[in-house]
Structure 1
């Protein structure tokens, strides 16, 4: 910044700052800060304070506040795609000699997507205050987080699959549901119908697949978030192995399907079998993750 300092301090104070829940948000510089939590259709209201540095006046061409919902794709860094953009003009051109406050309100704001910080993409919401000046604007940002809640699905079928290698291995596995909330438990079982290869262990993984961009410019990142050992040692025909995997210890987000044509986030249960020659056999099944009001912690 050098010797240049803004000629005023800008602060954003929400009306319900004392009662509204605060949640951690990772900033661009990697630091974590606590910011207010909202959900779609809530109103966002408060006061902007502009406080000139002692002995200075602030000449300006107008003051405004914007509520922005933005998607930034990291390989297109610096380009923000605004899917929500609301503006309130706070002051006409003039001069400010002493601290001045401006109330603002955005009522029943539609915020359809959740805040998301991923590998290649982030979706964020921010209040942006701009004091317009001919040579250089003064801006201040206040981030906030949006989480939206879903009712439990009315239909939630179990997943049943058979997987095998002809004449060598035949297993049947079952998960109790195909849709899970963030604090849910995956319950299931694996049944060995035929075992003619020497297996030494079996794991269940939770994988997150983030897709950004489209067409030839699609970037896919797959992360293994959890690895859960189901079996150590060789199973025998007729053996059944129970599955009980708690989701709450892992940093999951809800499934995001084609958000604003920019990105998707999907989750998979990946069954991995390893034989004594270290050959690996996989079976992957997509599941849906959702957030309910009860899991809002």
Structure 2
């Protein structure tokens, strides 16, 4: 049976529950977050400068007294890299003492509040980097019996559209193979919101190879480290076929790719000097011998102010998480 209460099945005799509650003028919202495989989970959702507040209930086994050296809650922000397993980097650490040394002879409830918290980075789960926010409740006891329970929440920040978006010119490029293939492709811009649509066209100037199909991919590239120690990891998030069959000279293929259905984040540049995330549109052509020809174009993604509410679930009076 899954142990729902932190430490209860480990001989420690203490369980912990946490209720996220709205601070004055706020609402508790939730985000649907991708977990392992195709699973998702609901986490409390906050943005930068929000107040994180709630109640913590610490319970003993009925009839058993629990002595402790204090109860505290910490608000932590950590970055974890696959290349540095076991050594998370803390970039945010706040603490509130909830109770002095004493005894627990009946369930006790403690309120907490972290005001105007600097949540400058978005939460992120990638292939080799994770950025996580959590509340860590600690009931300090003797060696081996201290109870520590983590409760995670999600941070999603929004921004106004970059000033140059409205007037940015389309991207035009010509690529090809000498005397075999020459194409010109165009995208309407290189900066997109997460709910935007990529509009463009492919124009065939020369076709002397037998093409089978053409598709456009959205690729994400994570970079950790710097200089010679930098490590890149790429994944394909979406594939969209834009042509099936052989084109002829002078043919034009339109592109219309909606970004909202895909699991995208904003572009992140050098987050806390630990990792970066970039996005690319990858144009792929495949011939009848299954040879692949491709051309990548980097795009910048951002989350508009209006996207935060739309991406979250309706507000709730509180959200309870149990250990």
Length-normalised TM-score, structure 2: 0.84
Q: Which residue of 2 aligns with 1:10?
A: 16
Q: Which residue of 2 aligns with 1:119?
A: 127
- Any idea what the Cα deviations from partners look like across 1:5-37, whole Å, max 9, x if unmatched? 332222211222995222234567996432210
Secondary structure of the structure 1 residue equivalent to 2:83:
helix
Verify: 1:271 aligned to 2:283, yes or no.
Answer: yes
Deviation for aligned residue 1:83: 0.8
Q: Which residue of 2 aligns with 1:58?
A: 66
Which 10-residue stretch deviates more, 233-242 or 261-270? Answer: 233-242
Question: 1:136-151 to 2 correspondence within 5 Å?
Answer: 136-151=145-160
Secondary structure of the structure 2 residue equivalent to 1:197:
coil
Q: Which residue of 1 aligns with 2:314?
A: none
Could you tell me which of 28, 42, 46 is aligned with 1:38?
A: 46
- Any idea what the Cα deviations from partners look like across 1:186-211, whole Å, max 9, x if unmatched? 10011122223332321111111122
Instruction: Report the CA distance shift for 1:114/1:141 in structure 2 as closer, same or farther (over 3 A).
Output: same
Greater RCO (CA < 8 Å, at least 6 residues apart) = 2
Structure 2 unaligned runs (5+)?
A: 1-6, 312-323
Which 10-residue stretch deviates more, 275-284 or 181-190? Answer: 275-284
8 Å contact kept, 1:11–1:140:
no
Question: 1:66-215 to 2 correspondence within 5 Å?
Answer: 66-135=74-143, 136-156=145-165, 157=168, 158-215=170-227
CA distance in 1, matches of 2:38, 2:11: 24
Report the count of equivalent residues.
297
Structure 1 unaligned runs (5+)?
A: none
CA distance in 2, matches of 1:187, 1:30: 29
CA distance in 2, matches of 1:23, 1:202: 35
